[in-house]
Amino acid sequence: ARSYNITLLPGDGIGPEVVAVARDVLSLAGSLEGVELRFQEKLMGGSALDATGVPLPDETLAAARDSDAVLLGAIGGYKWDNNEKHLKPETGLLQLRAGLRVFANLRPASVLPQLVDASTLKKEVAEGVDIMVVRELTGGIYFGKPRGFGTNDNGEETGFNTEVYSASEIDRIARVAFEVARKRRGKLCSVDKANVLEASMLWRRRVTALASEFPDIELSHMYVDNAAMQLVRNPKQFDTIVTNNIFGDILSDEASMITGSIGMLPSASVGESGPGLFEPIHGSAPDIAGQDKANPLATILSAAMLLRYGFGEENAAKRIEAAVTETLDQGFRTGDIYSPGTTLVGCKRMGEEVLKTV
């Protein structure tokens, strides 16, 4: 039997609740497809800070590296918001991404027919939206050096960061994006600010050059400000989007909100080799933590991405996705996606309903 080791990083806030549910769903879907999954849980984020003094303990990173995939809940909370940079939960997340070298962040944003009313966009605009944002995750201004605080010629304090991309960093993320587009509707839109930034000019040049290897893909380019508009004006024009770390941070969140159901959206971060990192895109929601109110579906769908992109276990992935669809069809809803006429359930109960249909 195929067997895999998964590191679970429940993290903070609602993280532990949604990861517990997703773990059960993973186990069951795996065993029904003849896949044995072994789990180990490690500390990460604010809870790691409280227990060990750092947001990503060495032991956690080592365990994550040695496993076949990592499933993360959520990190952060008001408690640690004013920490110094190296003691922020977010810093742990950036260290984890860098440590696992997961340079490609895949963030689907699709409007499910059952939830089209949850979007703030008009029904005819939201209906059928199905976008995949491929965000570069281990480069750009998030990691570029030099960075820090300095003094300028007038003796004033400055804060600075460096947006930098190398040719091979661009090529490898573009390649992933072309491949993703190929498995989707064959359209790739590369988003940059090549009318102003040199880093973007190189980006556009490299992406354009790679296009000859993917003659079946329709490549277009768009400036980031226009992309932010077009996502609101007509999101259906997009299939796959590829962009840098910071633009991807902004646009993928905008795209998710367009679907109206952030509590539903998973993500996958993968590298050239080694374990991938899978996590819901929502945050740790400290205000509802521990109240059994969280929507576990984004983490469950992240588990499906883990099976697909992490292990190539397509059948087990599809089983989970079908179970989520069926559970929604049966009318079960957590508070964030509730509408009159559906059945309001908590986090655990939603998990049980999905388990029944897996």
Ligand X SMILES: CC(C)[C@H](C(=O)O)[C@@H](O)C(=O)O
Q: Which residues bind ligand X (CB under 6 A)?
A: 90, 93-94, 195-196, 225, 249
Task: Between 93 and 222, name the residue whose CB sits nearer to ligand X.
Answer: 93
Q: Say how far apart CA 11 and CA 62 lie, in whole Å.
A: 17
State yes or no: residue 107 binds its own copies (CB under 8 A): no
Q: Does residue 225 have an active-site annotation?
A: yes
336 an active-site residue?
no
Q: Which of 58, 232, 312, 329 binds its own copies (CB under 8 A)?
A: 232
Residue 73 to residues 62, 129, 295, 298, 303, Cα–Cα distance (Å): 18, 26, 12, 10, 11
Between 242 and 328, name the residue whose CB sits nearer to ligand X. Answer: 242
Residues near 219 by beta carbon (within 8 Å), at least 6 away in sequence:
188, 189, 190, 207, 208, 211
Output the CA–CA distances (angstroms, integers) from residue 148 to 142, 144, 157, 225, in the order listed: 12, 11, 11, 27
List 42, 88, 193, 293, catalytic entry: 193
Q: Quick one: which segment of 192-200, 292-300, 304-312, 339-347 binds its own copies (CB under 8 A)?
A: 192-200
Binding mask 136-155 for its own copies (x = CB under 8 A): -----xx-x--xxx--x-x-
Residue 98 interacts with its own copies (CB under 8 A): yes or no = no
Kindly tell me which of 94 and 322 has the beta carbon lying closer to ligand X.
94
| Residue pair 298/265 in contact by the 8 Å Cβ criterion | yes
Question: Containing H/E element for 37?
Answer: strand 35-41
Task: Indicate the residue among 142 and 311 with the shorter CB distance to its own copies.
Answer: 142
- The answer to whether 203 contacts its own copies (rule: CB under 8 A) is yes
Please report the sign of the dihedral spanned by the C-alpha atoms of residue 198, residue 203, residue 205, residue 206: positive
Rounded to the nearest 5 degrees, what angle is found at the Cα of 40, between the Cα atoms of 36 and 43? 155
Q: Which stretch binds its own copies (CB under 8 A): 10-18, 23-31, 200-208, 321-329?
A: 200-208
Question: Looking up tokens 């810093």, which residue turns up?
Answer: 91
Question: Given the complex with its own copies, which of 60 and 256 has the nearer CB atom?
Answer: 256
First-to-final CA distance of the chain:
20
In the residue annotation, 329 being an active-site residue is answered as: no
Per annotation, catalytic residue among 68, 171, 253, 292: 253
Binding partner of residue 161 among its own copies, ligand X, none, CB cut-off 5 to 8 Å per kind: its own copies
Q: Is the dihedral of CA 354, 355, 356, 357 positive or negative?
A: positive
Nearest distance from residue 11's CB to its own copies, in Å? 15
Contact 158, 152 (CB under 8 A): yes
* Closest distance to ligand X from the beta carbon of 184 (Å): 21
User: Cis ω on the peptide bond leading into residue 146 (within 30° of 0)?
Assistant: yes
Catalytic residue positions? 142, 193, 225, 249, 253
Query: Which residues contact its own copies by CB under 8 A?
Result: 85, 88, 90, 94, 120-122, 125, 141-142, 144, 147-149, 152, 154, 156-168, 193, 195-203, 224-226, 228-234, 246-247, 249-254, 256-258, 262
